[in-house]
Structure 1
Amino acid sequence: MTNAPEGFTYRVRKNGDIEMSHHGRPAGVLRGPAAARFLAEVEEGDPQELMARLTGNYRHGNERVARNHPRNRGH
């Protein structure tokens, strides 16, 4: 069971930039071609998942597995 990202919002600025927020706090800005790509992808899929992926503000679900990896033992 995974937790779906939530709390993301975005707004389009007058100059075409995309301003993303997470629970009311700034999370990132997309400009130019990245902003246009974002708007196209928002229409196709889950905007919450997309914004979480773009901002890096989400859990991957593998934290416990990574902690037990031999490279990470002892940290």
Structure 2
Amino acid sequence: MSEIDKRNRLREEPFNYQITKKGTVIIYFEGKQIKIVKDGKAAQLIEKLNAAENIMEVQLLLAKITGNFKHGNEKTGKNK
């Protein structure tokens, strides 16, 4: 696990998820919604999340499903 998360970002547990009644999975990063997974992919993800043995595995699954959405070179607003 240490080779995958070299900066130990997943230890901070930045990802959360919510499973809706319809079976979709809503993924949040630091409290902001970033992705909605539907249909077959959602069913596979729910199965993997239920089989995960610890919180680090859950965080890794959520990080992988979201893909490369944050690269570190995003611009901040003028007022920030």
The TM-score normalised by the length of structure 1 is: 0.67
Determine which of 6, 11, 14 is the counterpart of 1:7.
Answer: 14
- Greater Cα radius of gyration, structure 1 or 2: 1
The TM-score normalised by the length of structure 2 is: 0.63
Q: Which runs of 5+ in 1 are unaligned?
A: 60-75
Determine which of 21, 25, 33 is the counterpart of 1:26.
Answer: 33
Runs of 4+ in 1 over 2 A off after TM superposition: none
Tell me how large the CA RMSD over aligned residues is: 2.1
CA positional deviation for 1:37: 0.3
Q: What per-residue deviation string (whole Å, max 9, x for no partner) do you get for residues 9-36 of structure 1? A: 0011121110000110012111011011
Q: Which runs of 5+ in 2 are unaligned?
A: 71-80
Aligned residues: 59
Determine which of 10, 13, 23 is the counterpart of 1:16.
Answer: 23
